[in-house]
Amino acid sequence: MSAIFLLPGLLSLYFVIRGRIETAFLSVYLPALLLLPEGYALKFPHLPAISAAESALIPIGAVALYRLVRSGLPLLMDILVGLFIVSITASEVLRERVMNDGIFAALIAFISIFLAYAAGRTFIEPGLRLVTVRRFVILILLLGPMGLYEWRFGQSLYGLIGIRVFNLDTVRAFVQMRSGRGRMAVSFNDAEIAGIVFGMTAALNVWLVYVRKWRSTANPGKRLAWLEKYHIPGLLLLLCVYLTQSRGPLLAVGVGYLILQIPKFKSKKSATVVVAILIAVAGVAAYGYFSHYTNISDPGAVVNEQQGSALYRRQMNELYQPIVKQGGFLGWGVQSRPVLPGMFSIDNEFLLVHLAYGNSGYILFVLIAAESLRRLVVRSWRLQAPEDQAFAIVLLAAMTVFWISITTVWMGEQLPQIAFLLIGWSQSILPLSTGPAAAPELAVRSRFAFRRVFN
C-alpha cells in the first residue's frame, strides 16, 4: 500500500516532462509538502525512505538546479547553502559509525534542503508569487478541521490512517497532551513544528491583506479577497498556532507581527530601525526573565510543566557544550552523536547542528540565518512598489518566526523543505510588474514542452 506515496513523484515527473513545471510545483509538490506527513514515505531496498513530498520535489529540483547553474554568478546565499550541504555530507560520511546511514542522511539533506532552496530560488518570482502565497494559505487552512479533532480527542487522523491502512511505524496515533487538550500537529507530526509552519503562513497571509487593502494589481481572487476583508484567514491561522500550545512559535509570531507593521510607515528604513531596537530590547528582557525563571538548583522545586520544560532547555544547552567541543570541526553525525541520560531530544536546532555537523556546519548555519534576514531588509528598502516592499517584509517576518522558533525545537519533518523553499524565494524577489501573474492553467504550451522547461 505504501507504494501509493510514489504517486506524487510520478505526477511531478509527468508534468515536468510535459513542460508544465508550474503545475508540478503548485498542484503536486505544495499539496504533498503541506498536507502529507513526512512519515508517509516509501522505502526502497538499499535506499533511504523517500516521502511523498520528496519524491515530488526530485523532478522539480532537477530543473531548478539546471536553471540555477544557468542563472549566472551565484549569490552569497547560493554559496552558503551549497557549502552547508558539503559540510553535512562530510560530517555524515566521515563521522557516522555506519557509513551507509551517513550517505542516506546526506542524500536526504541534499533533497530537502538544496533542492527545495533551488526551487524557491528559480520558480516563483515574480509571476507565481501571488498564486504560491494563496496556495500556501488555502492548503494550511484545510488542515484546520483535523487539528480541531486532535485538540478535542487527542488522536491524530494522519497517524490512525498511516498505522491502520498503510502499516507505517513513522507516524503516531496519539498527539501530545497539554492542559488536558491535544496539541495540534496534523500533517507535521509534531506540535512545535506545526506551530512554526502556521506562524510562517500567517505572516505570508498578511501580504494578501495588504494587496487587497491597497487595491493592488495582484488580485487574490474574489472569495479570498472577501475573507481577507474580515481577516478570517489570519484569525484562523493564529488560532491554529494557539491550538498547537507551543510557546516558542507563539512568542516568535509576536515578534513577526511587530515586523509586519513596517509597511504601514512611510519611511521603511526608520521603521525597520525602530522595530529592530524594540526586538533587541525585548530579547534582552526575555533572556533575563528566562535566566531568572530557570535559576533552580533543586529540580524538585519546579512548580509546573512549563517551568520544567524551560529548565530542561537551559540544562540541555549547558551540559552538551563539552560534547560539542569534542566534536571539533565536523561534529559527530546526526545518528552517532553522544546522548546524555534523559536528554535524547535536542530542542534547539542550532545546538543540534553544532553537535552533529561541528563548527563548520554551525558557522554556515548561522551565516545562512544572518544572510536570509539581511537580504530581505535590503530588498525592502530598494524595491519601489508598495506591494513589493510589503512582500519583502512579510518574508522577513516569516523567516524571523522560523529562526526564533528553532531555538526551541529541532528542524524536523517537512520543516527543512518549507524553510529552505522560503529562503530561496527570499533571495529572488523581483518587482511584481516585471512579470505576468502566471497561473499553471494559463501557461502557454509549447510543441516541444520538455525543451521549454529548460529555457
pLDDT digits 0-9 by tens, 101-124: 999 999 999 999 999 999 999 999
At a CB cut-off of 8 Å and minimum separation 6, what does 434 contact?
A: 126
Nearest Cα residue to 37 out of 174, 189, 161, 155: 189
Percent with pLDDT over 70 in the chain: 93
Residue 433 pLDDT class (50, 70, 90 cuts): low
Q: How many CB atoms lie within 10 A of CB 2?
A: 17
Read out DSSP for 133-181?
Answer: HHHHHHHHHTTHHHHHHHHHHSB-HHHHHHHHTT--SSS-SB--EETTE
Least confident of 98-102, 159-163, 250-254, 296-300: 296-300
Query: pLDDT at residue 217 above 90?
Result: no
How far is it, in rounded angstroms, from Cα 96 to Cα 103?
9
At a CB cut-off of 8 Å and minimum separation 6, what does 232 contact?
A: none
Residue 292 pLDDT class (50, 70, 90 cuts): confident
Which whole number is the average pLDDT over 302-323?
86
Query: pLDDT at residue 345 above 80?
Result: yes
Angle at 262 between CA 257 and CA 263, to 5 degrees: 110
Domain locations along the chain: 2-434
Position 47 scores a pLDDT of 85
Q: Residues of 264-278 as b/e, b for ≥16 C-beta within 10 angstroms? A: eeeebeebbeebeee
- The residue count of the chain comes to 455
Per-residue pLDDT tens for 7-66? 999 999 999 999 999 999 999 999 999 999 999 999 888 889 999 999 999 999 999 999
Least confident of 59-68, 296-305, 327-336: 296-305
Position 424 scores a pLDDT of 97
**pTM (whole model) above 0.85:** yes
Least confident of 207-216, 232-241, 343-352, 360-369: 207-216
- Average pLDDT of the chain, as a whole number: 91
Residue 224 in grid coordinates: 479570498
Least confident of 66-75, 137-146, 360-369: 66-75
Nearest Cα residue to 368 out of 77, 3, 5: 77
Q: Can you tell me whether residue 49 is helix, strand or coil?
A: strand
Position 163 scores a pLDDT of 94
Position 189, amino acid: N
At a CB cut-off of 8 Å and minimum separation 6, what does 403 contact?
A: 369, 372, 373
Which whole number is the average pLDDT over 157-186?
93
At a CB cut-off of 8 Å and minimum separation 6, what does 367 contact?
A: 80
How far is it, in rounded angstroms, from Cα 450 to Cα 454?
7
Residue 341 in grid coordinates: 541520560
